Amino acid sequence: MLWVLTSIITISVMFYQRMTGPTYPKKVKVELDGKEYHFKLLRSNEIGTPCDINLKIDDKQVGAKLFYKRYKTEDPWHVVNMQRKSIRKKALFGTVDEIEVLSAMLPEQPSAGKLKYHIELVKGDRKVIVAGNDPVVIRFKGFVPRYILIPHILFMIISLFTATRAGIEAIFKGDKTLKFVKITLIFFGIGGLIFGPIVQKYAFGDFWTGWPFGGDWTDNKTIIAWLFWLVAFFVLKKNPKNRLWPVIALLVLFAMYLIPHSMGGSELDSKTGKIETGIRV
C-alpha cells in the first residue's frame, strides 16, 4: 500500500513538473471562420536544430505570418510569410505520418538567447492573432549529450521516488526511514549537484549560476533542498525515531518541484551580451 501511495504521489509531482515551466510548448486555442484550432508553440530550441514553427491547418485557404523580435529589446518586428510544406511526424506505435503544415523558421540565437513571437492567421477578409497579447518567448540552448542528460533525469526521478517513500515511511512510523533518506541524499546529490551542473555547462556555458554567483532558481532550489535532506540524515543518525525532519525535507523537495522548471534560469542580455540569471523585468 505504501509503495502504491509513493508511486501515485511521485507520478503526480512529475506530471505537474512536465506540464509547467517556461521551456515546454505553450498550448493555444484560436477560432477562425467558425473552426477551432489547437497549437503547441515552441518555447525552447536546441542550437544546431532548425527552429521550425509548424501549424497543422488543413484548410488551404488559410494563410499565416510569423512576427518575431529579440526578447526585451526595442527591435522592430520581423515578418515572415509561413509556407505550406509536408513534414514527417512520429505517431503511435512507432509509425511515421506525413502531415501538411504552415511553417516558418525562427533565426538561431546564441546560447540563452531569446526571441518572442506571435502569429497572424488570415482567411479572406478574416484574421486572428495567435498569442498576440501574450507573445511566446523561446530560449535557445546548447546540445547536451544524451549520456549526460539521461543519467541526470534518471537520478532526479529516482531521488524523488525514494524521497517520497522516506516521507511516507516517517509518517507511518516505519523502520526504514533512514535507509530511504540515505538513498535520496546520494541520488539527489548525483543527479542535481553533479550531473545538473554538467547539463548547465553544455546548455548555457556555466557549471553553476546559483548562489553566490547568480540567481538561477533551479541551482538555488536544488542546493537548498539537498541541504534539508542532509540535515534529515544527520538527525536520523542521532535519533532514528525522529519523524519530523524527513517530512520537512520532503515538503521542501515538493516545493522545489512546484516551482516551474527553468523559471529564473539563464538569459542572454541582448544589450551587454552577457548571460544573466534570476527573474528580470
Asked whether residue 46 is domain-assigned, the answer is yes
pLDDT in tens, 139-172: 999 999 999 999 999 999 999 999 999 999 999 9
Q: Which of 115, 141, 167 is the last residue of a domain?
A: 141
Tell me which of 179-183, 256-260, 273-277 is least confident: 273-277
Q: Are residues 59 and 137 in the same domain?
A: yes
Cell 542535481, residue located: 192
Cell 520532503, residue located: 250
- pLDDT-derived band at 236, boundaries 50, 70, 90: very high
Average pLDDT of the chain to the nearest whole number: 88
Q: Are residues 200 and 180 in the same domain?
A: yes
Q: Are residues 208 and 190 in the same domain?
A: yes
- pLDDT-derived band at 241, boundaries 50, 70, 90: confident
Q: Are residues 78 and 129 in the same domain?
A: yes
Q: For residues 100 and 58, is the Cβ–Cβ distance under 8 A?
A: yes
Q: Are residues 127 and 169 in the same domain?
A: no
Asked whether residue 281 is domain-assigned, the answer is no
- Cα–Cα distances (Å) from 130 to 47, 52, 58, 95, 100, in that order, read 25, 16, 17, 30, 19
Strand partners, 102: 55, 84
Domain that holds residue 204: 144-276
Tell me the CB-side half-sphere exposure of residue 45, using CA atoms within 13 A: 23
Asked whether residue 192 is domain-assigned, the answer is yes
User: What is the widest separation between alpha-carbon atoms in the chain?
Assistant: 75
- pTM (predicted TM-score): 0.83
Q: Which of 141, 168, 203 is the last residue of a domain?
A: 141
Asked whether residue 19 is domain-assigned, the answer is no
CATH number for the domain including 75?
A: 2.60.40.10
Asked whether residue 15 is domain-assigned, the answer is no
To the nearest 10°, the Cα dihedral for 144, 147, 150, 153?
Answer: -70
pLDDT at residue 276 greater than cutoff 70: no
Domains identified in the chain, total number = 2
pLDDT at residue 81 greater than cutoff 80: yes
Q: Which of 119, 141, 163 is the last residue of a domain?
A: 141
Cβ neighbour number for residue 174 with a 10 Å cutoff? 15
Q: 34 vs 268, which has greater pLDDT?
A: 34
Which grid cell is 48?
544546431
Q: 95 vs 122, which has greater pLDDT?
A: 122
Q: Are residues 161 and 243 in the same domain?
A: yes
Asked whether residue 48 is domain-assigned, the answer is yes
Cβ neighbours for 159, distance < 8 A, ≥ 6 positions apart:
183, 184, 187, 188, 191, 192
Give which of 247, 238, 251 is closest to 169, Cα–Cα: 247
Asked whether residue 9 is domain-assigned, the answer is no
Asked whether residue 164 is domain-assigned, the answer is yes
- pLDDT-derived band at 16, boundaries 50, 70, 90: confident
- pLDDT-derived band at 280, boundaries 50, 70, 90: very low
Across 73-90, average pLDDT: 90
- pLDDT-derived band at 281, boundaries 50, 70, 90: very low
Give φ, ψ of 187 to 5 degrees: -70, -40
Q: 259 vs 123, which has greater pLDDT?
A: 123
